[in-house]
Amino acid sequence: RRSSAAELGGGGGGGGFARRTGRPCVRASALSYRQFVQFALDETALHTRVAPSPLQERFGSMKPLDDKTEIELLSYEAPKIRLLRSLSIQGSKGLQVLDFAMFPEPEYDLPIFCANFFTAAETNIVVLDLNPLYDVVKHKEYKDKYYEGLMSLGLNYAELLPWGGKLTGESLRFFSPIVIWTRFKSSQHMHDVLYSAFMDYLKAWLGLMDLGIRETDASRIIANREAQHRYLTWRAEKDPGYEVLKRLFGETRAKNVVRSFLFDGVNSLGSKTFLDYFPEYQCEEGRVNEKRSMLGKSFATRPWNRKGEFIGNRND
């Protein structure tokens, strides 16, 4: 049974639990992506035991520099889920952001649930995916294991939310054949389509999670942990949201949010550095090149065919 909004008592500083149902919930203030977050928490709670993350105490009551912007940082953990975290922003002039992700425990090679929605002045930039832990172009068995059964879902939304054009070439290796990468002008209709996609992708991820079997082979757990660490290292260094967060929180706090909240694990799941994983970004004196991309923008059209085979060409 779903809890109605009226039953949801907000917890101090963000994450809380519904008074009657004991389900996790978001504060009652109306954020536009609020229904997305609430759906995700309700739905996840139907599948597993969700508990607040220790991060909640440190980040749950963070405030932006200005007093016009509303933000909400939520974090939970659950069996099989190392971290479920959500950052939502509602600013003045229509700025709306949702960065919602679920990271599996290293004992599972589950994909990473990734919803990144940026809305400003009627422009929407959207990435929604079950990001693969292993590069699906190189690891066919991984691709088949998780995405074969989801291709019809992906194809359905690829039509409704068409490919967003060229993007940072490097990002492609973190995307799956069912990735939704799109841009559109704000409208109620597109918002509804996006909500529907979000719900379906979330349910798909939870379905994979339900079936996930705890790995016992130590070498595979190590590989899963490193793959997740590599992903976190990429995003903590090159995420396009960083500039917005810098404006919102100031540089020091933005860095902290990125490294210790959004991509928590970048400091603890491994000790390799960004340049260990991505040496092509090395500049003189061992500094990391500040460019987002060394490959440049690529993939003008969807680089996956209907069977989920990679058909991309970096220079198209």
Report how far apart the first and last C-alpha atoms of the chain are (Å, whole number): 49
- Alpha-carbon span 227 to 44, nearest angstrom: 24
Binding of ligand BLA by 17 (CB under 6 A): no
Alpha carbon 10 to chain centroid, angstroms: 24
Min dist CB 292 to ligand BLA, Å, is 6
Residue 25 has phi, psi (to 5 degrees) of -150, 170
Binding of ligand BLA by 127 (CB under 6 A): yes
- Per CB under 6 A, contacts with ligand BLA among 177-236 are 235
Given 3, 69, 168, 289, the residue binding ligand BLA (CB under 6 A): 168
Residue 118 or 146 with smaller CB distance to ligand BLA: 118
- Alpha-carbon span 280 to 119, nearest angstrom: 31
Tokens standing for 284? Answer: 């003189």
Q: Would you say 250 and 266 are in contact if contact means Cβ atoms under 8 Å apart? A: no
Stated as kind and residue range, the H or E segment containing 36 is: helix 34-47
Q: Would you say 86 and 39 are in contact if contact means Cβ atoms under 8 Å apart? A: no
Given 53, 56, 116, 228, the residue binding ligand BLA (CB under 6 A): 116
What secondary structure does DSSP assign to 72-109, as a single string? EEEEEEETTEEEEEEEEEE-GGG-EEEEEEEEE-TT--
Q: In what order do the strands lie in the sheet with 112-120?
A: 51-52, 70-78, 81-90, 96-104, 112-120, 123-131, 180-185
Given 59, 76, 100, 118, the residue binding ligand BLA (CB under 6 A): 118
Min dist CB 8 to ligand BLA, Å, is 24
Tokens standing for 271? Answer: 């000790």
The residue of the chain with the least Cβ separation from ligand BLA equals 241
Tokens standing for 22? Answer: 């004991």
Binding of ligand BLA by 136 (CB under 6 A): no
Q: Specify the stretch interacting with ligand BLA by CB under 6 A; choose among 69-77, 237-245, 263-271, 273-281.
A: 237-245
Min dist CB 106 to ligand BLA, Å, is 19
Binding of ligand BLA by 300 (CB under 6 A): no
Q: HSE of 267 in the Cβ direction (CA atoms, 13 Å)?
A: 9
Q: How many CB atoms lie within 10 A of CB 53?
A: 23
Q: Specify the stretch interacting with ligand BLA by CB under 6 A; choose among 15-23, 57-65, 123-131, 155-163.
A: 123-131
Min dist CB 291 to ligand BLA, Å, is 11
Min dist CB 112 to ligand BLA, Å, is 9
Per-residue x/- track, 239-268, ligand BLA (CB under 6 A): -xx--xx-----------------------
Given 8, 50, 62, 97, the residue binding ligand BLA (CB under 6 A): 97
- Binding residues (CB under 6 A) for ligand BLA: these are 97, 99, 114, 116, 118, 125, 127, 131, 167-168, 171, 174, 235, 240-241, 244-245, 292
